[in-house]
Amino acid sequence: MLVALAYESGRAGLPRPRLTVEPGRWVVGPAGITLYRVAAVKGRFAIVDGGMSDNPRPALYGARYHARLVGRRSSDPLVPRTVVGRHCEAGDVLAADVPLPADLRPGDLLAVPVTGAYHLSMASTYNAVGRPPLIAVRDGRARVLLRRETAADLLRRDVG
């Protein structure tokens, strides 16, 4: 590729450009996992305690994720479910038709991998929902990097 770049830039009478690679999402994306708690299960839908306020990528440009039950084992068959957020918006879909256990129930935890890039940096307080915490885990030890945003945090900005 560099040879072709040198050739073509020389042929066009331009100085050879300097290429820089910024891996960004390729490195950071797989490093993040988002945990959601199932709030309700309605037919093929699993409603979770987050959604487009903490991860607007699916609503903004169609990013889709996978989800997996964590924290307990299930021997039930897997059935396709669509994981949706709490915001009652048509675009608040985090993962469509992902295989999840038939006995999925409120209180279960779902892990959504590859959310390290842009997830929290794009989060908002949409519908007055506070932003989630950011937890670092290394060698089995967890450490809070950003605490969960509280109702008091949101109200503190209100000057009316």
Residues with catalytic roles: 88
| Spatial CB neighbours of 99, under 8 Å, sequence gap ≥ 6 | 78, 79, 80, 81
CA distances to 3, 32, 55, 79, 127 from 123, rounded to whole Å, are 42, 14, 6, 30, 12
Q: How far apart are alpha carbons 125 and 139 in whole angstroms?
A: 32
